[in-house]
Protein backbone atom coordinates (compact mmCIF):
# COMPACT_ATOMS: atom_id res chain seq x y z
CA UNK A 1 0.00 0.00 0.00
CA UNK A 2 2.77 2.43 0.92
CA UNK A 3 4.56 1.48 -2.28
CA UNK A 4 1.44 2.35 -4.34
CA UNK A 5 1.10 5.71 -2.62
CA UNK A 6 4.78 6.46 -3.16
CA UNK A 7 4.46 5.52 -6.84
CA UNK A 8 1.32 7.65 -7.23
CA UNK A 9 3.02 10.61 -5.53
CA UNK A 10 6.09 10.27 -7.79
CA UNK A 11 3.89 10.14 -10.87
CA UNK A 12 1.97 13.23 -9.74
CA UNK A 13 5.13 15.26 -9.06
CA UNK A 14 6.62 14.16 -12.37
CA UNK A 15 3.53 15.23 -14.36
CA UNK A 16 3.38 18.56 -12.55
CA UNK A 17 7.03 19.29 -13.41
CA UNK A 18 6.46 18.38 -17.07
CA UNK A 19 3.49 20.74 -17.25
CA UNK A 20 5.55 23.59 -15.78
CA UNK A 21 8.35 22.86 -18.27
CA UNK A 22 5.82 22.88 -21.12
CA UNK A 23 4.33 26.23 -20.04
CA UNK A 24 7.82 27.71 -19.61
CA UNK A 25 8.71 26.48 -23.09
CA UNK A 26 5.64 28.14 -24.63
CA UNK A 27 6.37 31.44 -22.84
CA UNK A 28 10.01 31.29 -23.95
CA UNK A 29 8.94 30.78 -27.58
CA UNK A 30 6.54 33.73 -27.41
CA UNK A 31 9.31 35.91 -25.99
CA UNK A 32 11.74 34.80 -28.71
CA UNK A 33 9.20 35.58 -31.45
CA UNK A 34 8.52 39.01 -29.95
CA UNK A 35 12.25 39.70 -29.72
CA UNK A 36 12.70 38.81 -33.40
CA UNK A 37 10.36 41.65 -34.40
CA UNK A 38 12.21 44.92 -33.83
CA UNK A 39 10.31 47.53 -31.92
CA UNK A 40 9.48 50.64 -33.92
CA UNK A 41 10.83 53.72 -32.14
CA UNK A 42 9.90 56.49 -34.56
CA UNK A 43 8.04 57.06 -37.82
CA UNK A 44 8.78 60.10 -39.97
CA UNK A 45 7.11 61.40 -43.13
CA UNK A 46 8.91 63.97 -45.23
CA UNK A 47 7.42 65.91 -48.16
CA UNK A 48 10.02 67.64 -50.28
CA UNK A 49 10.79 69.01 -53.74
CA UNK A 50 8.76 70.92 -56.30
CA UNK A 51 8.46 74.67 -56.53
CA UNK A 52 6.86 75.13 -53.16
CA UNK A 53 7.82 77.96 -50.88
CA UNK A 54 8.96 75.40 -48.33
CA UNK A 55 12.02 73.24 -48.69
CA UNK A 56 10.25 70.43 -46.87
CA UNK A 57 7.56 69.48 -44.41
CA UNK A 58 8.33 66.79 -41.85
CA UNK A 59 6.00 64.91 -39.51
CA UNK A 60 7.44 62.65 -36.85
CA UNK A 61 5.82 60.51 -34.19
CA UNK A 62 7.48 58.84 -31.22
CA UNK A 63 6.10 57.15 -28.12
CA UNK A 64 5.33 60.36 -26.31
CA UNK A 65 5.28 63.11 -28.93
CA UNK A 66 4.20 64.24 -32.36
CA UNK A 67 6.38 66.77 -34.18
CA UNK A 68 5.55 68.93 -37.18
CA UNK A 69 8.28 70.92 -38.90
CA UNK A 70 8.21 73.28 -41.86
CA UNK A 71 11.68 73.95 -43.20
CA UNK A 72 11.46 77.16 -45.22
CA UNK A 73 14.05 78.50 -47.65
CA UNK A 74 14.02 81.62 -45.48
CA UNK A 75 15.03 80.09 -42.13
CA UNK A 76 13.25 82.85 -40.18
CA UNK A 77 9.94 81.52 -41.57
CA UNK A 78 10.57 77.92 -40.54
CA UNK A 79 8.29 76.57 -37.83
CA UNK A 80 8.15 73.72 -35.39
CA UNK A 81 5.27 72.27 -33.36
CA UNK A 82 5.74 69.64 -30.66
CA UNK A 83 2.67 68.00 -29.16
CA UNK A 84 2.65 65.46 -26.34
CA UNK A 85 0.59 62.38 -27.12
CA UNK A 86 -0.71 59.39 -25.25
CA UNK A 87 1.59 56.39 -25.64
CA UNK A 88 -1.41 54.27 -26.71
CA UNK A 89 -1.76 56.43 -29.85
CA UNK A 90 1.76 55.48 -30.89
CA UNK A 91 1.36 51.83 -29.87
CA UNK A 92 -1.88 51.49 -31.86
CA UNK A 93 -0.11 52.81 -34.95
CA UNK A 94 3.01 50.65 -34.72
CA UNK A 95 1.03 47.53 -33.85
CA UNK A 96 -0.92 47.88 -37.09
CA UNK A 97 2.22 48.08 -39.28
CA UNK A 98 3.73 44.95 -40.78
CA UNK A 99 7.41 45.87 -40.82
CA UNK A 100 8.39 43.00 -43.13
CA UNK A 101 5.86 44.14 -45.73
CA UNK A 102 6.98 47.76 -45.33
CA UNK A 103 10.58 46.73 -46.08
CA UNK A 104 9.38 45.15 -49.32
CA UNK A 105 7.74 48.31 -50.64
CA UNK A 106 9.19 49.33 -53.99
CA UNK A 107 10.30 52.94 -54.20
CA UNK A 108 8.10 54.83 -56.65
CA UNK A 109 9.09 57.22 -59.40
CA UNK A 110 10.06 60.73 -58.33
CA UNK A 111 7.59 63.53 -59.06
CA UNK A 112 10.23 66.28 -58.75
CA UNK A 113 10.96 66.21 -62.49
CA UNK A 114 7.49 67.68 -63.06
CA UNK A 115 7.69 70.17 -60.19
CA UNK A 116 5.92 67.79 -57.85
CA UNK A 117 6.63 66.77 -54.30
CA UNK A 118 8.08 63.44 -53.26
CA UNK A 119 7.07 61.65 -50.09
CA UNK A 120 9.45 59.66 -47.94
CA UNK A 121 8.53 57.51 -44.96
CA UNK A 122 11.22 56.40 -42.52
CA UNK A 123 10.69 53.83 -39.82
CA UNK A 124 13.38 53.74 -37.17
CA UNK A 125 13.89 50.66 -35.01
CA UNK A 126 16.60 49.95 -32.47
CA UNK A 127 18.71 48.25 -35.15
CA UNK A 128 17.96 50.03 -38.42
CA UNK A 129 16.23 52.81 -40.31
CA UNK A 130 14.04 51.76 -43.22
CA UNK A 131 13.39 54.47 -45.77
CA UNK A 132 10.94 54.29 -48.69
CA UNK A 133 9.97 56.97 -51.22
CA UNK A 134 6.68 57.29 -53.08
CA UNK A 135 5.48 53.81 -52.12
CA UNK A 136 1.84 54.63 -52.79
CA UNK A 137 -0.70 51.83 -53.04
CA UNK A 138 0.82 49.64 -50.34
CA UNK A 139 -1.39 48.87 -47.33
CA UNK A 140 1.29 49.82 -44.77
CA UNK A 141 2.24 52.99 -46.67
CA UNK A 142 -1.40 54.07 -46.92
CA UNK A 143 -2.02 53.28 -43.25
CA UNK A 144 0.84 55.55 -42.16
CA UNK A 145 -0.11 58.38 -44.54
CA UNK A 146 -3.76 58.24 -43.46
CA UNK A 147 -2.77 58.26 -39.79
CA UNK A 148 -0.61 61.36 -40.21
CA UNK A 149 -3.23 63.11 -42.35
CA UNK A 150 -5.92 62.53 -39.72
CA UNK A 151 -3.73 63.48 -36.76
CA UNK A 152 -4.53 66.91 -35.35
CA UNK A 153 -1.22 68.68 -34.95
CA UNK A 154 -2.43 72.26 -34.61
**pLDDT value of residue 122:** 96
d(CA 119, CA 132): 8
Instruction: Specify the pLDDT at position 144.
Output: 92
pLDDT, residue 81, reads 87
Query: 26 pLDDT exceeds 90?
Result: no
pLDDT tens digits, one per residue of 73-130: 788 888 888 889 888 889 989 999 999 999 999 998 887 776 678 899 999 999 999 9
Q: In this prediction, what percent of the chain has a pLDDT beyond 90?
A: 29
pLDDT of amino acid 9: 54
pLDDT given at position 87: 85
What pLDDT was estimated at residue 25? 53
Residue 118: CB partners within 8 Å, gap ≥ 6? Answer: 47, 48, 49, 110, 111, 112, 133, 134
- DSSP alpha helix (H) spans, the chain: 2-36, 87-95, 99-103, 139-150
pLDDT number for residue 22: 47
pTM exceeds 0.75 for this model = no
Task: Give the per-residue pLDDT at 48.
Answer: 82
Q: What is the pLDDT of residues 13-22, one digit of tens each?
A: 454 444 445 4
Q: Where are the domains of the chain?
A: 1-36, 40-150
Region 54-67 average pLDDT: 86
Amino acid sequence: MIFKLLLLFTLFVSCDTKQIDFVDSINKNKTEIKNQTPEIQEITIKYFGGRSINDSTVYSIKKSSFEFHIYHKDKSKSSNILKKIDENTFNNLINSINLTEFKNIKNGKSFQETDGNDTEIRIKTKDETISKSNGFGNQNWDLIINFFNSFEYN
